[in-house]
Amino acid sequence: MTKSALQIVRAHYVPKMPAGLEGNVRIEEGAATQSVADTKEIAKLFPNTYGTPILKFVPTDGKKSADKPVNVGVILSGGQAPGGHNVIAGIFDGIKSLHPDSKLYGFLMGPGGLVNHEYKELTHKIIDEYRNTGGFDIIGSGRTKLEETAQYDKGLQILKQLQISALVVIGGDDSNTNACVLAEYYKANNAGVQVIGCPKTIDGDLKNEQIETSFGFDTACKVYSELIGNIQRDCNSARKYWHFIKVMGRSASHIGLECALQTHPNICIVSEEVEAKKQSLDNIIDYIADVIAKRAEQGNNFGTVIIPEGLIEFIPAMKALIAELNDFLAHNQAEYDMIRKSEKRSYIISKLSPENAEIYASLPESIALQLTLDRDPHGNVQVSLIETEKLLAEMVKTRLGELAKEGKYKGKFATITHFFGYEGRCAAPSNYDADYCYSLGYTASLLVVAGKTGYMSSVRNTTAPAKEWIAGGIPITMMMNMERRHGEMKPVIQKALVRLDAAPFKYFESQRNKWALETDYVYPGPIQYFGPTEVCDQPSKTLQLEQLGKIVG
């Protein structure tokens, strides 16, 4: 494999770790825990793994070792996120440092690899090839949902065959939900296999009191912010385009908000605010058109609009429509697939309630069809395939035309649309993600050796220097609630949406009118891997505001 100069040098980067993980550790246990909501239902569904305490690893004297080798399996699940390879390197180094004969097996292409018995042993040589690199290609990833006992039993066969006593699932909220269900099943059946989760997703929506951030968010946002900054410098140079930029984040707007904090665009829509204020699509269009008209009055016929990928599902009327579509398609997908493309739209209209049928009928043909595309295996609309940026640009153009007729807008409006998602998911991890991921993996290995199951690896205090980070384990049931999926109520990890009362949004809110009219762009430039710590090691602005209450760098 030909390597870039950066890859060759970066392979030697030694991730910074919490001081507590460098020597021997002991476990400090907190009090019994409860799920965030629906405690009775969750406790009943997870009788063997519910309510366990929060764990913290603290340094202790003595030699760091395990009595016997441990064989561990690892799965990468869901969308790629920078740093996954370092989580695996951390698990590998962790189990090897505790016993040199320990083995790590990677299941290929996601949870499906476990069920289909597709795996490979990860050796020193393989791990060294992938240290500090982006991507999930070391073993591949997939979105198979583990939800049938037949799958768990099939998985158990290979785990037994390879004498694997613990499985680490690296994934987002849905995949960690799977991990928890699997942990419960194996415990209930005395299978002798522990299951540990690791918080991954660029979307940043797997976080709570104990999990500060999901890995990959930091790097992905830095990549998008570099690109947005470059676009802003271009549009401030040519002064002739409005750029409508959709950024990934299937549900929550954390990515859009973080990019706004890093780049100061003229407009950033936050889905959670749209929902809270019960805004309609027309309200959003009016807001964007108003800013454009005001900038035009100053002679500035250019600007940037950041749009979160999940916006459409947060507009209350659209949300109701999508919910009905989800339920309908969950039960009638086969029939829908048989309908000819030209008749799909009228077929759907005939099946919806009158209110939703009217909204559906009012959408442009392309967007209407995009709303009925195949759901992912978890029953979610694939919002990355819905071209919201084009929809908004089109609708704003029409609105500006109306304003011009009323004599309220005199300007030129030319748009360019962008979608940034896949560009950032496999970038070489920033120092933050390289360090955080390695520590998460190493911590997972300690949870395994401590015999724990149904826990998520956690590393906290990450706005402090890495030496002061705190490693531990959080019971996954603690993060769960009941939600409607595929037309049924299911236990799932609660998604962390943008909180409108929390510091990142509050800061954005205090600045956005200024950013709208002044051209106050920030150009963050590319991620730096070598150089002064204030350039290379800064955590995301979201994390700085959440943990420290201010932006420090």
Judged by CB under 6 A, the chain residues 398 through 427 that form the site for ligand FBP are 421, 425
Does the protein bind ligand FBP through residue 79 (CB under 6 A)? yes
> Measured from the CB of residue 251, what is the shortest distance to ligand FBP in angstroms?
8
Q: Is residue 518 helix, strand or coil?
A: coil
Does the protein bind ligand FBP through residue 250 (CB under 6 A)? yes
CB 498 within 8 A of CB 270: yes
Does the protein bind ligand FBP through residue 176 (CB under 6 A)? no
Length of the chain: 553
Does the protein bind ligand FBP through residue 203 (CB under 6 A)? yes
> Measured from the CB of residue 213, what is the shortest distance to ligand FBP in angstroms?
13
Stretch that binds ligand FBP, among 244-252, 294-302, 340-348, 532-540 (CB under 6 A): 244-252
Among the listed residues 93, 212, 226, 309, the single contact to ligand FBP using CB under 6 A: 309
Q: Which one from 93, 203, 218, 433 is the annotated catalytic residue?
A: 203
Does the protein bind ligand FBP through residue 485 (CB under 6 A)? no
Among the listed residues 24, 230, 384, 528, the single contact to ligand FBP using CB under 6 A: 384
Stretch that binds ligand FBP, among 121-129, 195-203, 284-292, 448-456 (CB under 6 A): 195-203
Stretch that binds ligand FBP, among 91-99, 112-120, 197-205, 269-277 (CB under 6 A): 197-205
Q: With CB under 6 A, what is the number of residues at the site for ligand FBP?
A: 15
> Measured from the CB of residue 312, what is the shortest distance to ligand FBP in angstroms?
12
> Measured from the CB of residue 250, what is the shortest distance to ligand FBP in angstroms?
4
CB 45 within 8 A of CB 74: no
Residue 85, both tokens: 């390879």
Instruction: Report which of 173, 167, 155 is spatially closest to residue 378, judged by C-alpha positions.
Output: 173
Does the protein bind ligand FBP through residue 172 (CB under 6 A)? yes
The C-alpha atoms of residue 481 and residue 85 are separated, in whole angstroms, by 30
Among the listed residues 15, 20, 78, 454, the single contact to ligand FBP using CB under 6 A: 78
- Please report the sign of the dihedral spanned by the C-alpha atoms of residue 326, residue 328, residue 334, residue 338: negative
Does the protein bind ligand FBP through residue 437 (CB under 6 A)? no
Among the listed residues 248, 261, 267, 403, the single contact to ligand FBP using CB under 6 A: 248
Strand order in the sheet with 55-60: 24-29, 55-60, 470-475, 455-460, 194-199, 166-171, 71-76, 103-107, 119-121
Residue 6 or 385: which CB sits closer to ligand FBP? Answer: 385
Residue 188, both tokens: 């209930």
> Measured from the CB of residue 77, what is the shortest distance to ligand FBP in angstroms?
7
Residue 481, H or E segment: strand 480-485
Does the protein bind ligand FBP through residue 519 (CB under 6 A)? no
> Measured from the CB of residue 273, what is the shortest distance to ligand FBP in angstroms?
19
Among the listed residues 110, 197, 204, 249, the single contact to ligand FBP using CB under 6 A: 249
What residues have CB less than 8 Å from 418, skipping those under 6 apart?
227, 231, 243, 244, 245, 246, 389
75, 369, 383, 446, 516 from 525: Cα distances, Å: 33, 37, 28, 37, 21
Stretch that binds ligand FBP, among 160-168, 199-207, 269-277, 315-323 (CB under 6 A): 199-207
Stretch that binds ligand FBP, among 52-60, 228-236, 243-251, 534-542 (CB under 6 A): 243-251
Query: What's the helix, strand, coil split of the chain in %, to 5?
Result: 45, 15, 40
CB 205 within 8 A of CB 495: yes
Residue 453, both tokens: 């199951």
Among the listed residues 158, 202, 391, 426, the single contact to ligand FBP using CB under 6 A: 202
Does the protein bind ligand FBP through residue 258 (CB under 6 A)? no
The C-alpha atoms of residue 314 and residue 280 are separated, in whole angstroms, by 9
**Active-site residue, 501 included:** no
The C-alpha atoms of residue 353 and residue 220 are separated, in whole angstroms, by 39
Please work out, in degrees rounded to the nearest 5, the angle formed at the alpha carbon of residue 200 by the alpha carbons of 198 and 206: 95
The C-alpha atoms of residue 262 and residue 253 are separated, in whole angstroms, by 14
Binding region for ligand FBP (CB under 6 A): 78-79, 81, 172, 201-203, 248-250, 309, 383-384, 421, 425
- Please list the active-site residues: 203
